[in-house]
Structure 1
Amino acid sequence: MTPEEQELIMGLAVGLGNGPTRTLDEVLAHFGESDGEALALRLLRDAMERQDADDVEMALILHAAAGASVEEFLEPLTELFPADWHRDHEDIVRMLGRLRSPRTVPTLALATHWVPEHLEWDENRALAVKAIWALGAIPGPEAQESLEALRDDENEIIRENALKQLARRGEL
């Protein structure tokens, strides 16, 4: 993606105190597309193939602006999550959490323990906390087992959040 195309897509993002400066129709017209979800998926797959962190971010911005479903993005997002060459791990966990699908449990469980290099500074373990809360919203035994495995975790933040989710689910 060219810097101009990245700037165009960034115009879809809502900044601090500012609304979008571009419309989805403008972006779609530029790319010669009519379906924002299809374009976002194509751009995401292309960024993954090239391992381009900036273009991953652009694809996720476009995904949000297009109001695209996460279901169509499940496979590439779960494939992308453990890659250490991008910076969108928290966004991926948030998106997978919206699905509330047992199919996301392995990726969310990984997110409770793995700390990408760019998040090593975060003593509050925001990525893990987001993953735990996402697991808490997923029905079924897979999510339950993942949360139970965290109830005795050595990290207090992880342990407390897992216990909160188990209590919320009525499993304590």
Structure 2
Amino acid sequence: MKPEDQRVILDLVAYPGSAPRGTPEEVLRHFGADDGRALGLELLRGAVAERDGDQVEMALIVADRFGLSPASLEPLITLCSADWHHAHEGIVSALGALHSPAAVPALQYLADWVPEYLDYDDSRAMGVKAVWALRRTPGPEAEEALRGLLASGSGIVREAAAKGLRSRGVSESEGM
């Protein structure tokens, strides 16, 4: 991805005290696209193919602005365990936005895994975000994943999983 491509995408981001400098229409025009979801998918697939961490972040910005297509699930799942980027929290948010039972194993993995670059985070923000995404994901698979996280090595994730089960009206031992 060229620096100009990144600039156009970054212009969509609002920073504290200022509005975004760019518009979604400018991004579409720059990339010669008419569908922002398709563009986001193309950028995600390109990031995976090129193992480009910066492009992962740019694709997630585009996906956040335009939304995700169901086809985004595959590259997002591929990115879950990739150690060549630092956008795992964004991946959690994107998977959570899809509300897909197919994302459950990836979300469970991300709830329990701590990438080296997040090792400092005692609050386990990524893990808690993944639990919240599981909480909003329909189906028994998500409930089973939440139950599985009750055995997590992190007390914060265990507590979030217990709250997630209670919010779904499921007891922690139900179905075990």
Per the TM superposition, whether the score is higher than 0.5 is yes
**Counterpart in the other structure of 1:140:** 139
Show the counterpart of 2:18. 18
The separation in 2 between residues aligned to 1:170 and 1:121, in whole angstroms, is 33
Moved over 4 A (4+): none
- What is the identity, as a one-letter code, of the residue corresponding to 1:169? R
Structure 1: distance between partners of 2:132 and 2:79:
20
**Pair 1:87-2:86 in alignment:** yes
The residue number in structure 2 matching 1:27 is: 27
8 Å contact 2:150–2:162 — kept in the other structure? yes
C-alpha RMSD over aligned residues: 1.5
Aligned residues of 1:135 and 1:143 also touching (Cα < 8 A): yes
For 1:150 and 1:19, locate their aligned partners in 2 and report how far apart those are by CA, in whole Å: 39
Q: Which runs of 5+ in 1 are unaligned?
A: none
> Relative to 1, partners in 2 of residues 1:57 and 1:154: Cα closer, same or farther, differing over 3 Å?
closer
Identical-residue share of aligned pairs (%): 49
> Where does residue 174 of structure 2 map in the other structure?
none
How far the C-alpha of 1:70 sits from its partner, in A, is 4.4
Change in CA separation of 1:162 and 1:3 when aligned onto 2, cut-off 3 Å = same
Q: Aligned equivalents of 1:28 and 1:152: distance in 2?
A: 45
With over 3 angstroms needed to count, the CA separation of the structure-2 counterparts of 1:140 and 1:28, relative to structure 1, is closer
1:1-172 aligned at under 5 Å gives the runs 1-65=1-65, 67-172=66-171
Change (3 A) 1:162 1:46: same
**Aligned partner letter, 1:124:** S
Provide the TM-score with structure 1 as the length reference: 0.92
Q: Distance in 2 between matches of 1:112 and 1:129?
A: 6
Contact 1:70 1:96 in 2 (8 A): no
Deviations 1:94-143 (Å, cap 9, x if unpaired)?
Answer: 11112222111000010121111211110111111111111122222211
Q: For 1:76 and 1:85, how far apart are their aligned partners in 2?
A: 14
Worse-superposed segment, 134-143 or 123-132: 134-143
**What is the number of residues matched between the two proteins?**
171
